Structure 1
Amino acid sequence: MKKYLALLLFNCLVALAVSAQQLRTITGNIKESTGNQPVANAVVRIKNTDVMTASDTKGHFSLKVPVGTVTLEVSATNYKVVTLTVNDKQTSVNVTLHLLQRLVKDRSRYIMQDVVICGEPPAPTPAPTVKSAAPKRNMVATQNYEMVVSGVAANNGRVSYAPSNTEDYSPINENIFHAVTDQPLSTFSIDVDRASYSNMRRFLNNGEMPPPDAVRVEEMINYFDYGYKAPTGKDPVAIYTDMAICPWNTGHQLVRVALKSKQVDTKDLPPTNLVFLLDVSGSMDEENKLPLVKKAFRVLTEQLRPQDKVAIVVYAGAAGVVLPPTSGNNKQRILSALDELQAGGSTAGGAGIQLAYDIAAKLRKENGNTRVILATDGDFNVGISSEGALTRLIENERQKGIFLSVLGFGMGNLKDNTMELLADKGNGNYAYIDNFEEARRTFVTEFGGTLFTVAKDVKLQVEFNPSFVQAYRLVGYENRILQNEDFNNDKKDAGDMGVGHTVTALYELIPTSKKGESVNWVDPLKYQRGKIVGNQKEVLTVKLRYKEPAAAKSQLMEKVLPYDNQEIGAAPEDFRMATAVAAFGQLLRRSAFAGTATYDQVLSWAGTARGEDKEGYRAEFIQLVKKAKLLDKDEKE
């Protein structure tokens, strides 16, 4: 018997050695064509397989491939796909990626010229004079115009005008796949913001594709109402999980993790102390800015109860109080103060925030809800303007129980990155108000969710079972990723859920292969054991931590997902809708992980998931997809 066992062991070792000899390593560097900058998170895969790796921050990659000639596919968000053939003698390659043509055009819109002319462009004349036109007030959608002096041969010596754009978005480094044997845990903070969706809608309705970094896929997914059941136990949040075959890569699977916070009747909510902090600087003097701000806050004022109080602080060149704390039963006084607001001056944003917090501190009471609501286009250029100083101020006030929500308005100089950061640090929501309907939804339909927190510092940690999952990627939430150690650290700030809020997260999974193919994120770990603890049919375990609004210690919840291999068409309606929105977001971003998804497929998936759609948001989504399909002329090459 020992002889046979020894022979079997020897044969296994020989097989392993032969297998190892059939693989070789290809290394390389990936850079972009403009500036020779390295491209991080570019996906390098053997074409039509899940054997892949990703470039590091220096653009370097290393991939194990079979001996012989192989075809590699290199893709990165915002870049054209590159396909190359590597022969059996090559051990290294250099890859240059080119920005998609649409993105080159978008980037050019952000280049400011030397001469800026305010107001409408003058009528063409044979020999225009290069000077500033007088600003026009009370115009609908007034824009700034850049003056570009073209060469005589190119433009007959005429002066051409183009809208300027100083909007600012934080770059998104898209999540990549992680091997479960290397990183079995995925930890992130939840996000209930939806500013990215309404901002994307603004671009499409204006006949433009949104900048890729303006598209945060998780905010698009979470824009929609989903029919999750509210919790019935002691916890303020319920967890739901399910899975289906991934429609944009049918060799993969898609997991949905969904949360629903408890419902509370408005009359049972605690007294609310609000400070409206309104930007009335010169940049707000456009129809879709201050006039829309007034309409939005009129809607909010109508929702106030007698026990609620409101103060109004404005800021431009300086900050000031235009309405002292006023009871909610004196709505006319609040509305009159709003009506009298006018725009003009620079933007002392930091000074306004400090004054608003000073008033909020005087209003704050135990067991009450105290919140500053900032409405701005995000252009902070006077006073406390550095991110560090602003965030420290907001974090200190958050610890005192005063939260901050941020509403973005207008176009042309929207500082999306600043506003998102301030809301995150202030335990509040960030919304972009592109029209009156969005204002109504924020302050009427979702009044409780916008203003009343039921669970704060909500964190999710997902553990994957390597028996079923070889690798995974979280779709979206790039700026919400946490270290695994942060999950049990109650001092670590995270997202908050208001009354009736829903949160949806999707994971794309690469199943454990029966053929032995594997992703190559890192070399195999030497000391790890293959022992699996728990039920062998468990795909993953979701852990959630939250705090009560006034608590410092978190509570733990868990949910297990059993294996299921259903088609996406058989999945629940809300799952299908979230999947369609995720695919659309990845198409808008030109994601390296969009797979085979097309606009027509998104229309098909969403078309079967409209449901009741009482507010018409899903029908509107379908129209936006149709607009994007027409606007997006770039082809993947």
Structure 2
Amino acid sequence: MKLTGLILLLCSLLYTPLSAQYYFTGEVKDLHGDKLQRVAIIVQSTGMIYETGRYGSFEITSRIADDSLTFAYNGYERYTTAIKSTDFLRVTLKELTPPSTPPKIRLTSLIPWQGCDPYPVYTWDNKHTVIENPFLTGPANISFTGNPNGISYCNIRRFLDMGTPVPSEAVKIEEMLGYFNFNYEEPAPAELFHCSSDLVSCPWNKAHKLLCLNISARRGDMRGNPPCHLVFAIDASGSMDMPNKLPLIKAGMRLLVRNLRDIDTVSFVQYGANLSVLAGIPGSRKADIIRAIEQLRPDGASPGEAALKLAYRVAHKLYIKNGSNRVILITDGDVCEDKTAAADLEDLVAQESEAGIPLSCIGVGITQGESSELSILAERGKGTFACMGDEQEGEKLLLKQLDEGLLSVADSVSVTAGFDSTLVGEYRLIGYDNKRNLLADTALHMEGSTVSSAHSMTVLFEIIPRKDDISIEKIAKVQINYCLPGKKARRTIYYDCPNSPVPFDRADLPLKKAACIALFGMKLKESAYVAGTGWGDVEKMTRKIFAGNNFIDREYINMVIKARTIYEHK
């Protein structure tokens, strides 16, 4: 059961203390190189438990710079190691040899433990300091995977709200750019991807240039689908104030919003300190939907039962005849306070499903086995129950509410950019700093990513020109490598980046915003590449480019102001 009142507030503070200002990152694999998801990670200083995401990675906030982590996974030997906030930790777990395989691990049995590990420990780890991508020379290509997420932006906002500097390793500029997703461009009917580029002067170094790539994937075909009305009942109680809860929901929602059609409708029931409704937003008003999501703030108790009943009332009021009508409950725990109320709610959910309104439940910050109530409700509601472990998993769970066919339009996606050595003396990719082998990889050896319907990414390169020569038409060539879903044959799309530079002041607004956010990220990382740009310059640029006439712009300006105050007094 969820705690309420003062107890809930105390627990929330315990999960993320106000003094927290460090960040642990890394990934977990097995001996075959397969990434392990949902590996339990126990932080020794607090006893708190986290899990690796879908791609074996983890990101943990901490109140101290140095700690020890224990990794536990069913069928594998436990492993404990020290970690520093300045390291990127790579762990490889060894499978247990039968018959010594222990019984299934339950998270509750791991909090906390005392004494020695009952199983032998196998250690194979490499620690790599997180470094910023340097400038490169020569004609070599640079490759990167095609699906960064956006959770870093939420974590940055969280640290600044606490009044603390943001750990350098928590600042991932590619994720900040992905969170805003400025400019989706529809590919041509026969194309799977669309790529466009802009070449502008660099706002933090007038002698340099910025090359901006905008890569967008095709939308899935939903022309035969009936209109839908999705009612989201979202838990915004105090316990959702953790990096792997409400921020994960906000980041994962954006791809769903991009795939909504004009004939679709979305409603929100928020429950926490207040129970509120925002009903009937058409899919054409995507900015309004994003604004509604962004304004969710965790606070108070968790009246989940009342919220779910209200969500059904909204679903009935805006019911689309011959359409797809469903309620989606997103929470981190149980809904009802006692067994009687739970039984009554199960009966209500079953009745509503018979009336044509199914219920799906999504758990955040929990595992599949931790919330039997959610799984029972989803079963009675003739919907699905799943847990959201990371943003890409969240995107897929939410997209699934529209159409499963939207989950993948391309697999093993990676992008390679090669530069004309006559025009370009040196270049560097902004962001992607945690990809340890990024600069040495080629597209053929890189592990690509799955891309969903209407996925879009913004990529920035900082360029040191060798010479200006307008007779050379192309400054770079972009190569998008991918496989069709379920196929192994690799395909490639090529795009030539025109050598047509323009002053930064004449650039389109989405590009200006992207450059502004990249500069903000580099200042948070205290990057040497922007050492000549002061926080006052950053704030001035932000106020000029972000108009401040909508909630998201105003919030971003406030983040920059908070960061300036924190870092100038650091």
The TM-score with structure 1 as length reference comes to 0.48
Match of 1:579 among 515, 536, 541: 515
Alignment of 1:432-471 (within 5 A): 452-471=407-426
Q: 1:483/1:594 Cα in 2 relative to 1: closer, same or farther (>3 Å)?
A: closer
Offset, 1:584: 0.4
Offset, 1:195: 1.1
Match of 1:200 among 156, 181, 187: 156
Q: Matched residue of 1:487: which SS? A: coil
- Superposed CA deviations along residues 324-366 of structure 1, whole A, max 9, x for unmatched, are 998978687738x89xx9x9xxx98475699999x99xxxxxx
Whether the 8 Å contact between 2:140 and 2:418 is mirrored in structure 1 is yes
Offset, 1:586: 0.8
Partner Cα distance (1:270, 1:552) in 2? 33
Q: 1:348/1:569 Cα in 2 relative to 1: closer, same or farther (>3 Å)?
A: closer
Partner Cα distance (1:198, 1:174) in 2? 21
Identity across matched positions, percent? 21
Partner Cα distance (1:609, 1:630) in 2? 20
Match of 2:131 among 163, 169, 174: 174
Q: Matched residue of 2:556: which SS? A: helix
- Asked if residue 545 in structure 1 is aligned to residue 481 in structure 2, the reply is yes
Alignment of 1:205-354 (within 5 A): 205-263=161-219, 268=224, 288=298, 306=324, 334=359, 349=367
Equivalent position amino acid for 1:594 in 2: V
Whether the 8 Å contact between 1:192 and 1:502 is mirrored in structure 2 is no
Q: 1:138/1:314 Cα in 2 relative to 1: closer, same or farther (>3 Å)?
A: closer
Alignment-derived partner of residue 557 in structure 2: 622
Partner Cα distance (1:135, 1:283) in 2? 11
Alignment-derived partner of residue 131 in structure 1: none
Alignment-derived partner of residue 188 in structure 1: 144
Offset, 1:284: 6.5
Q: 1:329/1:542 Cα in 2 relative to 1: closer, same or farther (>3 Å)?
A: farther
Offset, 1:582: 0.4
Q: Matched residue of 2:205: which SS? A: coil
Alignment-derived partner of residue 95 in structure 1: none
Equivalent position amino acid for 2:137 in 1: V
Whether the 8 Å contact between 2:406 and 2:452 is mirrored in structure 1 is no
Whether the 8 Å contact between 1:217 and 1:477 is mirrored in structure 2 is yes
- Superposed CA deviations along residues 158-182 of structure 1, whole A, max 9, x for unmatched, are xxxxx9997257747233324332x
Whether the 8 Å contact between 1:306 and 1:329 is mirrored in structure 2 is no
Q: 1:141/1:329 Cα in 2 relative to 1: closer, same or farther (>3 Å)?
A: farther
Partner Cα distance (1:574, 1:219) in 2? 16
Q: 1:372/1:219 Cα in 2 relative to 1: closer, same or farther (>3 Å)?
A: farther
Offset, 1:192: 4.4
Alignment-derived partner of residue 507 in structure 1: 461
Match of 2:428 among 451, 457, 473: 473
Partner Cα distance (2:354, 2:12) in 1? 36
- Superposed CA deviations along residues 205-262 of structure 1, whole A, max 9, x for unmatched, are 3433322222211111222242343112322321011111211122221110111233
Equivalent position amino acid for 2:562 in 1: K
- Asked if residue 144 in structure 1 is aligned to residue 144 in structure 2, the reply is no
Q: 1:235/1:495 Cα in 2 relative to 1: closer, same or farther (>3 Å)?
A: same
- Asked if residue 601 in structure 1 is aligned to residue 557 in structure 2, the reply is no
Q: 1:615/1:452 Cα in 2 relative to 1: closer, same or farther (>3 Å)?
A: farther
Offset, 1:579: 0.3
Partner Cα distance (1:352, 1:218) in 2? 33
Equivalent position amino acid for 1:144 in 2: L
Q: Matched residue of 1:144: which SS? A: helix
Q: 1:139/1:484 Cα in 2 relative to 1: closer, same or farther (>3 Å)?
A: closer
> Unpaired runs of 5+ in structure 1?
1-118, 120-133, 149-162, 317-321, 361-369, 375-404, 407-418, 432-441, 515-534
- Superposed CA deviations along residues 397-435 of structure 1, whole A, max 9, x for unmatched, are xxxxxxxx53xxxxxxxxxxxx4xxx56x6x6499xxxx
Partner Cα distance (1:447, 1:143) in 2? 36
Partner Cα distance (1:290, 1:331) in 2? 32
Q: 1:263/1:493 Cα in 2 relative to 1: closer, same or farther (>3 Å)?
A: closer
The TM-score with structure 2 as length reference comes to 0.53
Q: 1:309/1:554 Cα in 2 relative to 1: closer, same or farther (>3 Å)?
A: farther
Q: 1:271/1:331 Cα in 2 relative to 1: closer, same or farther (>3 Å)?
A: same
Partner Cα distance (2:513, 2:300) in 1? 34
Alignment-derived partner of residue 291 in structure 2: none
Whether the 8 Å contact between 2:200 and 2:507 is mirrored in structure 1 is yes
Whether the 8 Å contact between 1:449 and 1:498 is mirrored in structure 2 is no
Offset, 1:485: 6.0
Whether the 8 Å contact between 2:146 and 2:448 is mirrored in structure 1 is no
Offset, 1:191: 2.9
Offset, 1:577: 0.7
Partner Cα distance (1:563, 1:308) in 2? 49
> Unpaired runs of 5+ in structure 2?
20-45, 49-59, 63-84, 89-128, 243-271, 273-297, 335-344
Q: 1:262/1:598 Cα in 2 relative to 1: closer, same or farther (>3 Å)?
A: farther
Q: Matched residue of 1:632: which SS? A: helix
Specify the structure having the higher radius of gyration (Cα).
Answer: 1
Partner Cα distance (1:542, 1:503) in 2? 14
Alignment-derived partner of residue 517 in structure 1: none
Offset, 1:509: 1.3
Partner Cα distance (1:267, 1:291) in 2? 41
Partner Cα distance (2:430, 2:200) in 1? 15
Supply the RMSD in Å over aligned alpha carbons.
5.7
Alignment-derived partner of residue 500 in structure 2: 564
Partner Cα distance (2:372, 2:190) in 1? 37
Offset, 1:450: 13
Partner Cα distance (2:325, 2:225) in 1? 10
Q: 1:485/1:214 Cα in 2 relative to 1: closer, same or farther (>3 Å)?
A: closer
Partner Cα distance (1:544, 1:577) in 2? 24
Q: 1:566/1:293 Cα in 2 relative to 1: closer, same or farther (>3 Å)?
A: farther
Alignment-derived partner of residue 449 in structure 2: 494
Q: 1:285/1:447 Cα in 2 relative to 1: closer, same or farther (>3 Å)?
A: same
Partner Cα distance (1:590, 1:143) in 2? 28
Equivalent position amino acid for 1:208 in 2: T
Partner Cα distance (1:221, 1:235) in 2? 24
Whether the 8 Å contact between 2:145 and 2:447 is mirrored in structure 1 is no
Offset, 1:474: 0.8
Offset, 1:585: 0.8
Q: 1:242/1:311 Cα in 2 relative to 1: closer, same or farther (>3 Å)?
A: closer
